[in-house]
Structure 1
Amino acid sequence: MATAGAVLLAGTGVYLHTTLHGKLRIWQRELDRAGLSGDERLLDLGCGRGAVLIEAARRLPRGQAVGVDLWSGEDQSGNRPEATLANAAAAGVADRVEVRTADMTELPFADDSFDVVTSALAIHNIPTSASRYRAVDEAMRVLRPGGQLIIADFWPMARKYAAHIGQGTLRGLGPGYWYSGPWLGVTLLHTVKKG
């Protein structure tokens, strides 16, 4: 009983660290690794209240960060476009952030519209595997040749997305992006769209 309690307490601590600090630090690192020049057009799928979207916008002084979401409060509390725009304003990047209501499986953008497409723990919320694959296909469709796809999701999902598109590298993001323990760890799928 004492062991189970200790494991539960430790898992709660890991979850809180990831939610409050870890995932943001990891996205800062991964966006830095992407080597953005500052004038890109970036799309964030399932942007929620804008954590990744705003971090991306900070790196795009001459670019644009577009976030799409269905704004479900079920997946994230307080999830609405006004909250995301308020967060962007508070971060001083509102001039380069746009949010739209859109379904990841039917993106309202032309082919080859973005230099980078990101998604943080959003695609797995789509209820069917066929629809999740459709979202990944849509991300690839709107990405220009030579553009980067950067998806962070639970490891079984990230592996399936990579297998579906037949390309990309997978990398575990470590304890900073665990939800209670390694069994709920997040993996990064990174790929560059072939021309």
Structure 2
Amino acid sequence: MRKRHGSYGFDAPWALTGLLFGALVLLALAAAAFNLDIQPAGIAFLGGALYTLASAASYVYTTRRGKFVVWAEELDRLAGDERLLDLGCGRGAVLLLAAQKLEEGRATGVDLWRSKDQSGNGEPVTRANAEAEGVSERVELVTGDMRDLPLDDDAFDVVVSSLAIHNISDDEGRARAVREAHRVLRPGGLMLVADFQHTPAYESVLRELGVIDIRRRDLGWRFWYGGPWFGTTLLEVRKPAG
């Protein structure tokens, strides 16, 4: 994977802040316990602090490098002339990886640009990243809600989404987003949805819509947000042709 030139921030920065704060609290408790000569408690608190710091390191790796490596491999299947849509594109981590491969195609990103989902999230940041990566002429950005996409039916050859749909708080809202993704995907088109929550529910909705070639698989340690308990699953389906 080539060197990145854009600025991509941190996913869910509040979660990383929580891990780091928790580690500091545990270290302080360990120090207090050792000072009071309460050795078992000190050892327990120190172990908890080290465990939490390891989780934070995993989180940082995934958001700064791991997810890019995984998505670069997934996007190698692109032929280069597709119309691709990224739902919840944020600062462009997946969108711009795709655009680099679409020498004769085009990548469209949709987002509501909320900073609680990704630090510094904003359309101007994503545009600047597209410029920095040298793909701005292949990229279109749309402000819109995944539950009601301002896009035509059957408009895209590929629809992707990375840790975005779960940010919709209710079951029906997430189902609507999945149905919208299916609506804008052309017959024969490919959908790739990565998330650490709700992928069985996404699959259920898509099965009802008649998709084929369904695969749901774990993306491994490079996509852990703190550890295997926050691993990421990829749901891959295809819309039937004709």
Aligned to 2:165: 123
Q: Structure 1: where are the runs of 5+ without partners?
A: none
Cα offset for 1:64?
0.5
C-alpha RMSD of matched pairs (Å): 1.0
Tell me how far apart the structure 2 counterparts of residues 160 and 3 of structure 1 sit (CA, whole Å).
37
Q: Structure 2: where are the runs of 5+ without partners?
A: 1-43
Tell me how far apart the structure 2 counterparts of residues 137 and 3 of structure 1 sit (CA, whole Å).
45
Aligned to 2:200: 159
Aligned to 2:236: 190
State the AA in 2 paired with 1:7: Y
Cα offset for 1:7?
1.4
- 1:1-16 equivalent positions in 2, closer than 5 A: 1=44, 2-16=46-60
Aligned to 1:181: 227
Answer with 1 or 2: which has the greater Rg: 2
State the AA in 2 paired with 1:135: A
**What SS is found at the alignment partner of 2:90?**
coil
Cα offset for 1:86?
0.5
- Cα deviation code 1:71-98 (max 9, x no counterpart): 1112112111111010011000000001
Higher helix share: 2
- 1:125-140 equivalent positions in 2, closer than 5 A: 125-140=167-182
Query: Given the two structures, how large is their TM-score scaled by the length of structure 1?
Result: 0.96
Cα offset for 1:3?
2.5
Aligned to 1:74: 116
State the AA in 1 paired with 2:239: K
Aligned to 2:16: none
Tell me how far apart the structure 2 counterparts of residues 86 and 55 of structure 1 sit (CA, whole Å).
14
Cα offset for 1:6?
2.2
The percent identity for this pair of structures is 53
State the AA in 1 paired with 2:232: V
- Cα deviation code 1:121-144 (max 9, x no counterpart): 000001111000100000000000
Q: Relative CO higher for 1 or 2, CA cutoff 8 Å, sep ≥ 6?
A: 1
Cα offset for 1:119?
0.4
**What SS is found at the alignment partner of 1:31?**
helix
State the AA in 2 paired with 1:129: D
**What SS is found at the alignment partner of 1:138?**
helix
- Cα deviation code 1:166-189 (max 9, x no counterpart): 152101001100011111000000
Tell me how far apart the structure 2 counterparts of residues 159 and 174 of structure 1 sit (CA, whole Å).
17
Runs of 4+ in 1 over 3 A off after TM superposition: none
How many residues are paired up?
A: 192
Query: Given the two structures, how large is their TM-score scaled by the length of structure 2?
Result: 0.77
Alignment of 1:30 onto 2:74: yes
Higher strand share: 1
Deviates more, 1:157-166 or 1:65-74: 157-166
